[in-house]
Structure 1
Amino acid sequence: MKFADFFPGQVIDAGPYLLTQEELVAFARAWDPQWFHTDAAAADNGHHQGLISSGWQTCCIAMRLVALAALEGSESFASPGLNYVKWRHPVRPDDSLHLRATVLEVRRSSTKPDLGIITWRWQLFKQANVEVLDLEATSLFKLSNT
């Protein structure tokens, strides 16, 4: 999507994305090697009673879904960050995830006319519409001066 295609109140749905146990554990071993992400036997006896995904992996899945559904082919080039990120419920192996991105604000920079700015809320859900991730992101778009 191009910057001009975004508008406040717009909802973009994407997914599903099926997270396998192999992918969950491989990500955790590389990036978040805590036992409740990497050791199924130990995790079965832990607080969550089974393996759970790293919250950072959950964010990566949301990013992938947003990139494929909305940012691919756009003028997007960066993000200055997130206003908040909340992991509402754990993600487990074989969860099927889908994304709802709601555009909150679309504007051009008042000081840089070739800069477009979008603020949007990304929510990731698993089965039974259980919310697992809620974040608010800002995306920057390089626009022509015309």
Structure 2
Amino acid sequence: MYDEPITCWEDLAIGQVYEYGAVSISESEIIEFAKAYDPMPFHICPEKAKQSPFGQLIASGLHTLSINQRMSFDHVFSQWAVIAGKEISHCQFLAPVFADDVLSAQLTITDLKTLGNNARGSVYFSIVTKNQLNQPVLSIRCEMILACKSRV
């Protein structure tokens, strides 16, 4: 299933940190995503957004979460022996994301547990996504199931 050397469950350690990102989000991307999935006026109309508490267009929280997922896949999950995502919890949108913001993330492994016959294990981790000002904009906790070396 995996073509390159892959990180299995037992290769991970509690406290391990991955830092990645530097993805810019444009006004047109904010509007396009929001029109398809979250068409609130402050996500799709720059004029109406000026009248909102934010004073300008902001990205949908779901868009921010989706960008986070893509960054996490590109820099971490694509290298892991992922069987399945199991849970996203404590999802907090901490600050608005504006056009031209540059997002980066830090993933920290918080726990590891074996499952069943030791052919797989759960990895628990938190991710904090920040903007170019180092201000947290998103915080989530997740559980993912990874294969053990005996299964790969």
TM-score (norm 2): 0.89
User: What is the letter of the counterpart of residue 91 of structure 2?
Assistant: V
Measure how far apart 1:142 and its partner are.
Answer: 2.8
Q: CA deviation at 1:144?
A: 4.9
Q: Does the residue aligned with 1:137 lie in a helix, a strand or coil?
A: strand
Partner of 1:130: 135
Structure 2 distance, partners of 1:61, 1:41, is: 25
Instruction: Give the aligned CA root-mean-square deviation in angstroms.
Output: 1.4
Measured against aligned partners, the alpha-carbon deviations of 1:69-89 in whole angstroms (never above 9, x if no partner) come to: 111142112122122100000
State the 1:58 CA deviation.
0.6
Give 1:1-80 correspondences, 5 Å limit: 2-3=7-8, 4-80=10-86
Structure 1 gaps of 5+ residues are none
- Return the alpha-carbon distance in structure 1 between the equivalents of residues 117 and 66 of structure 2: 30
Residue 97 (structure 2) pairs with residue 83 (structure 1): no
Question: 1:18-72 CA deviation, whole Å, 9 max, x = no partner?
Answer: 0011111100001111111000000011111011111011111111111111111
Q: 1:29 to 1:39 in 2, by over 3 A?
A: same
Structure 2 unaligned blocks of 5 or more: 1-5
Distance across 1 between alignment mates of 2:35 and 2:108: 32
Aligned residue for 2:3?
Answer: none
Give distance in 2, aligned partners of 1:73 and 1:103: 15
Counterpart-to-counterpart distance in 1, 2:69 and 2:11: 19
- What is the rounded CA distance, in whole Å, between the counterparts of 1:72 and 1:80 in structure 2? 16
Equivalent-residue separation in structure 1 for 2:121 and 2:40 (angstroms) = 39
Counterpart residue type for residue 68 of structure 2: A
CA distance in 1, matches of 2:37, 2:98: 17
CA separation in 2, counterparts of 1:119 and 1:67? 16
